[in-house]
Structure 1
């Protein structure tokens, strides 16, 4: 038997999905009839419950993807395809401490809180109170607010103050989903543990370019830019083929790792012609005599 307060997902024969917090006093009224929450509570996940008109609904335990897609939103939210990759690349797991800015509607905040668990902590920054309130409601709806500390109205141009206010609370990872992340890159190193991964989400190439230039002069290495594309296939064994539409570009992900630059390490790097040209261009942008680092073409290029 399910307990009141549990999150349940009810799926109609037509595929319509209803995610509800189980409340015995709040029956679900749908086109197919009335679903008694007492009947839902008496059932088990994976079973079928019926409306008063005899229409069947599947009862399932919501996954993290269901929760992320089910957040109430006023802003563009992260898709599961980006969220899954972010969680893996940032090394998010039980007991981790993570910084996020900004919260938006809270789709990634939900995923972070769910993944760090009761022993972890998420510090999420949002300047706009109405977005922070929506994020809070989404977290509370899923029972995940207890793992999250919301910082509302703080300008991260002044740094990430909450997690560094006490000794030993440097973050294990950091994620920025803000319009001009390059303006805040210089604050990141003091907010995370040495060697920690960071990630950024940006919608346009010009923004990515500005961010990369900022990362060049900051203590970061292993910089990577990518996008995640998903193409579904029609699940018909005799006519297996891709679907006509796909979830393509929804944003660029930029990853890096906090790493102080060391001349000794750089001196031992083996660079091909392309890498030498890129390094020369970087040094020229920094005003460090990049032209002198220009290398001739090699035979293998």
Structure 2
């Protein structure tokens, strides 16, 4: 049964969803009639209650998805389809210590708090005081955030926490802050970024090339639902398409020693020469980069099969 102070999700016969705090005086008044909170408390989760006009409402316990999509917004929020992948890539679990920057309305902060558990720590930095306060209100509203510390802080001066297990930046120009990451996270920590445009992705990748970062990944997640009609299955008319590019990498020391041992094909040699040129370093000799090993990570084969030219 819903307890006083909890959030409860009520769904009307037409599918409209209401999130309400369970308080005896918090009745719902609408076109379907009066829905008494005392009736909801007595009915319990997974049951049906009726308005005074006889309209049935389903009573449900809000899931994390409901909480994330139900936050009060003053900023663009991170969508659930991205949040799930972010938490998996960062390895968020009970006891993990996470640095976040760009708290915004707190949708990701809420999920990080949920997954990090009572032994975890979420340290979120927000430069604008009004957004930091909004994030805290949304955390309190959702009943999470006991493991979250909020900082009204501009990360251009660095992060206020170190020795973190993972880090995520949702800021306009993340490449400006990459230099502060190595001193804030543990060796081998996963780092993630969210940006909306491909130009921002390119600027970030150029900065990540300077190291010490490895296992760089750029992703875009699209969610298309299907209409659940057994004899007429087809995609829904709308989908959640582009909401942002996700970039992940791992903080990794000793990369120069590792790269020196790699055998590269033609394409990889050209890519390495371009990288060195961007970094203002001298190009390494062709024979030092020539190993005859084909591409990795699913890249297509080189025209010459990855063999060195005579």
Q: Normalized against structure 2, the TM-score is what?
A: 0.91
Give the deviation of 1:262 after TM superposition.
3.5
SS in structure 2 of the partner of residue 19 of structure 1: strand
In 2, distance between residues paired with 1:128 and 1:45? 39
Q: 1:110-121 alignment to 2 at 5 Å? A: 110-121=110-121
Q: 1:24-173 alignment to 2 at 5 Å? A: 24-152=24-152, 154-161=153-160, 163-164=161-162, 170-173=163-166
In 1, distance between residues paired with 2:285 and 2:110? 50
Give the deviation of 1:228 after TM superposition.
0.2
Q: 1:245-260 alignment to 2 at 5 Å? A: 245-260=238-253
Aligned partner of 1:300 among 288, 305, 308: 305
In 1, distance between residues paired with 2:57 and 2:134? 29
Deviation readout 1:169-193 (Å, 9 max, x if unpaired): x211100000110010010111111
* Number of residue equivalences: 294
SS in structure 1 of the partner of residue 134 of structure 2: helix
Any gaps of 5 or more consecutive residues in structure 2? 293-301
The answer to whether the 8 Å contact 2:71/2:107 transfers is yes
Give the deviation of 1:291 after TM superposition.
7.0
Q: Normalized against structure 1, the TM-score is what?
A: 0.93
Give the deviation of 1:30 after TM superposition.
2.3
Q: 1:219 to 1:51 in 2, by over 3 A?
A: same
Partner residue of 1:214?
Answer: 207
SS in structure 2 of the partner of residue 190 of structure 1: coil
Any gaps of 5 or more consecutive residues in structure 1? 165-169
In 2, distance between residues paired with 1:43 and 1:271? 66
